[in-house]
Amino acid sequence: MIQVLQRAADVVEALASDDECTLASLCERTRMKKSTLATICAALCEIGFAEKTGLGVYALGPQLLGLATKRLLRNTMVGLAKATVDRIAGSVGEHAVVGVLRGRKVVYLAKAYPNASVVVNPQRVDTDSVYATACGRVLLAHVAAEQRRAAVHLLDEPGNEWPEAVASSLEAELAGIRDREVAYRTTADGHVLSIAVPVRVGKQGCVAAAGVALPTTRATPKHREHILEALRAAADEMAIRLAECVPATAQVGRKYTGHKEVNR
């Protein structure tokens, strides 16, 4: 089994060295017989790790390229997330975060803290709960339907963390977030408001969420509108930078123009 995996790995490495490879060139690079290579290439094509582009000509497949793109995206996002939260916090003067969904939890790639006399306690808003954070709600709303059903199956009922999802229905709340491209969450005591928007990158879809948390005493309509504009501009900028760093993601998701805030 180890030998089979090693041979397949050698073929993948050879394919990665050029845009396309013929069986003859693969034979030269891997020192395997043509019949062996043909069998390995056929198996790799079947699982999407290679693709046949011509008679006896092969290239890396879409499945493997997709996995590589996801990994590159993840590594690139950490650096860009820091710049994104600094931009948001500097613009609106509030606590800013960029988070991603990992299984049943929200993981924060970066956080920025404002220089304000009254600030929110990060421990109250930067939890890893999907339901109890605006970022978590945005991320859950924008994953593919099948992934969303699997995630919801693993999670407990929203309960007190998201009363609105209990009063109506979870799917209805998530559909509303997708329609508005924004999620809001106010703490049970009414002291802290959180707002989050998706970061969209081409075919990858929503790869992260950018959010802000602030005391409700500062959440005037004008300030909320400013925060929403800043979040969307920063999310667009992060998406553009990601697409530039990871060309395989191709076109960036649509711009956030002409959106209106929906008061919650």
The pLDDT tens digits for 47-73 are 888 998 878 788 888 887 777 666 666
Structural domain spans, the chain: 2-60, 65-249
The residue among 111, 135, 112 whose CA lies nearest residue 209 is 135
Length of the chain: 264
Give the Cα separation of 112 and 94 in Å (integer).
8
User: What is the rounded average pLDDT of the residues 136-146?
Assistant: 91
CA separation for the pair 253, 134 (Å, rounded): 20
214-221 CB contacts, 8 Å cutoff, 24+ apart: 214/92, 214/94, 214/95, 214/120, 215/118, 215/119, 215/120, 215/191, 216/186, 216/190, 216/191, 216/192, 217/118, 218/94, 218/118, 219/193, 221/263
Which residues, 6+ apart, have CB-to-CB distance to 206 below 8 Å?
A: 138, 139, 142, 143, 198, 199, 200
Within a 10 A sphere around the Cβ of 92, how many other Cβ atoms? 23
Average pLDDT over residues 118-139: 79
The band of 264, judged by pLDDT with boundaries at 50, 70 and 90, is very low
Please report the pLDDT score of residue 145 as a whole number.
83
Percent of the residues in the chain that have a pLDDT greater than 90, as a whole number: 41
| CATH class of segment(s) 2-60 | mainly alpha
CATH fold for the domain made of 65-249: Beta-Lactamase (3.30.450)
- Identify the band that residue 88 occupies on the pLDDT scale cut at 50, 70 and 90: very high
The CA distance from 161 to 165, in Å, is 9
Residue 232: pLDDT above 60? yes
The 10 Å CB-count burial string (b at 16+, else e) for 218-247 is bbeeeebeebbebbbbbbbbbbebbbeebe
pLDDT of residue 252: 38
**Exposure class string for 9-47: b at 16+ Cβ within 10 A, else e:** ebbbebbeeeeebebebbbebbebeeeebeebbeebeee
